[in-house]
Amino acid sequence: MDAPAVDAVEVDSGVGDPDTGVGTDTGVDARMAMDTGVVGDTGVRVDSGIVDATGPTDSGSPSGSRVVVTLTRGAGVTGTQRVNVGVPVAQGATTAATAVAVLVAGAPVATASRVLATYRDGSPRSFQVQFDAPASATSAEIVFGMSAPALALVGVDTLLQNEALGPDTARTPRVWATLPATWLVASKFGGNLVVATDLTAAPLDVWRRRCDYSAYSSATFAAQIGTAGSWLYDRPTALYRGYASTGTLSVLQSAYREADVYRQRILASSTVPPSSDLKYNYTQNLALHYLLTGDDRFREAAETVAGRSTISGYTGAYSTSFWTERHAGFGLLANVFAARVSDDRAAEFRMRAQTIVTNLIAIQNRALNLASAPMNKQLDAMHRCFGHTPAAHDISEYVDLDMPTAATLVCSPWMSAITADALEAFADDADATNRAAALDSIVRLGRRLAAVDNRGTNGRPHYLLGLDGANAPDGFDEHWGEVAYVASMAWHYSGRTDAALRTNAMHYVNGFNTRGAIGQLRSFNWQCRSAIATPFYLR
């Protein structure tokens, strides 16, 4: 594998802060508004048909038999065109033998389909569907369980055209096929999400309000494509999750363009962003793109990138070598998502993912010497984050400490969101025993981060939380949402009965609602990637 390296300089356009590999949080003016306290869990419509286990029962649901896709032609595209679309489905909703038909203007047309990947139980995860649409067609209906005249699949790349993205060239569809958010959310394609239009009131609508996909679209990215910071935190995954929750064409287009350019650059081992540094090696966006297109190049790219993500920078023991929760989380995500779509290496990636999870839990289980720690650090073994030395994170960021005695071990509350995201994805694909262990790890992590000692005098979560000593406070308001996300997951997976844990989670939700700030492209990438799932756990 390529050894995790530290970039020489990664300057986010308009900010001027070098990113040394640990995501320095700068570029947004601090806002010192008073914390509003805890409010109830409001603002999510309960009549949307979304349910946790099997998906909704309305017409947009994978538990139904059909879905309408909207067709939008690229500029200058005329005549009859082959349409290609990947249709994610809920676990157990279909079988490999399920027939697929397409109706255009209410009439069946010749249809090609295949299963792209499967869940642990063997049921399909997504279908690739192709059909020919006349110039007059603005929509089509895909029907599961209905036969249609046969059509031969063609290579996805033959259906694409060139489109500029900054200095790069993205290959995009001649005809875009957009799925409704109700279908995408129910399929769990993007994880545990809520349809954006169902977020109707504060505070839980804050992710709909703050995650502005127009302001931070591929056009904004194109202007910063030469800066390393713009590539951080797997930006195409943030966009694909945005598409899943909104069903909006413009968000899909941004995700598609950027995933394609990312694939081209990462496979070239480019010396320009994204580099071979481990923190830029993502498979999640590649896998999501494959599930929405059936483009085999993205499946193979996911396997290649996962092969680089062996994570040698940490073990179950504490280490002073360079690694953070970001490295661990993205390493785990790389292997989990490559395993989901791999046609021949899934067992390899699952084994590596299992090793990473075992190491993470070992870190949580290792005894802490808290004999000389302040009383507010005397937490039981059920409250544990992934402790590492300040030097293993970046000693230059362990500054402006809030008490005299420095901690020997710290954790990053905001980077922990990436690891929690990965643990949940691992759990979703695991057997019962490993699923329980991974979810328990999330609960322990969330309890630790939600604790009151992870708040500065202004109520913000710390930039670095000291396990046995001083904390490094956060000078900005860019990390409320990540702690809200992990705390809400802990509340949900611990049984949804711990009132104190929910209250603590809502403290961070309210902070994000009233004071949260997204002031730069990179900030959008991390804040709108994982934490947009928070309303799902609290509704």
Three-class HEC string of 313-375: CCCCCCCCCCCCHHHHHHHHHHHHHHHHHCCCCHHHHHHHHHHHHHHHHHHHHCCCCCCCCCH
Does one domain contain both 361 and 490?
yes
Domain co-membership, 127 together with 202: no
User: Based on the domain organization, do 172 and 186 belong to the same domain?
Assistant: no
Please state the rounded mean pLDDT for residues 116-142.
Answer: 98
The answer to whether residue 328 sits within a structural domain is: yes
pLDDT at 315: 62
3-state DSSP assignment of residue 82 = strand
Residues 457 and 324 in one domain: yes
Q: How far apart are the first and last CA of the chain?
A: 42
Q: What radius of gyration, in Å, describes the C-alpha atoms of the chain?
A: 23
Segments forming the whole domain that contains residue 341: 182-538
Amino acid at residue number 224? Q
- Which of 60-74, 106-120, 480-494 is the least confident region? 60-74
Summarize the confidence of residues 367-371 as an average pLDDT: 83
pTM of this prediction exceeds 0.75: yes
Q: In this structure, are 160 and 242 located in the same domain?
A: no
Out of 152, 179, 206, pick the residue that ends a domain: 179
Clarify whether residues 510 and 453 are in a common domain.
yes
Last residue of a domain, one of 122, 150, 179: 179
Are residues 114 and 125 both part of a single domain? yes
Q: E strand or H helix at 308, and its extent?
A: none
Tokens 């922990």 locate to 416
pLDDT band at 371 (very low <50, low <70, confident <90, very high): confident
Maximum distance among all alpha carbons in the chain? Answer: 76
Residue 22: inside a domain: no
Asked if residue 21 lies in contact with residue 7, where contact means CB atoms within 8 angstroms, the answer is yes
Q: Is the pLDDT of residue 63 over 80?
A: no
Boundary (domain end) residue, out of 160, 179, 198:
179
Residues 174 and 196 in one domain: no
How far apart are alpha carbons 281 and 270 in whole angstroms?
Answer: 12
Q: What is the mean pLDDT of residues 233-262?
A: 98
Q: pLDDT confidence of 2, banded at 50, 70, 90?
A: very low
Neighbouring CB atoms inside 10 A of 242's CB total: 27
Taking only the tens place, the pLDDT of each residue in 390-409 is: 988 889 999 999 999 999 99
Structural domain includes residue 308: yes
- The predicted pLDDT at position 369 comes to 82
Q: Which amino acid would we find at residue 420?
A: A
503-530 average pLDDT score: 97
For residue 320, the model assigns a pLDDT of 59
Structural tokens at position 347: 């067992």
C-alpha–C-alpha distance, residues 281 and 351, integer Å:
19
> Do 190 and 160 fall into the same domain?
no
| Neighbouring C-beta atoms of residue 133, cutoff 10 Å | 21
Same-domain check for residues 223 and 333: yes
Backbone torsions φ then ψ of 507, nearest 5 degrees: -55, -45
CATH number, domain containing residue 513: 1.50.10.10
Q: Establish if 452 belongs to a structural domain.
A: yes
Asked if residue 262 and residue 337 are part of one domain, the reply reads: yes
Tell me how many domains the chain contains: 2
Identify whether 34 is part of a domain: no
Residue 1 lies in a domain: no
For residue 114, the 8-state DSSP code is E
Rank 212-216, 331-335, 357-361 by mean pLDDT and report only the highest.
Answer: 212-216
Same domain, 164 and 236: no
**Any domain includes 49:** no
In tens, the pLDDT along 87-118 reads 999 999 999 999 999 999 999 999 999 999 99
44: left (phi over 0), alpha (psi -120 to 50) or beta: beta
Kindly state whether residue 39 falls inside one of the protein's structural domains. Answer: no
Confidence at residue 246, expressed as pLDDT on a 0 to 100 scale:
98
pLDDT tens track for 269-287: 777 788 767 788 899 999 9
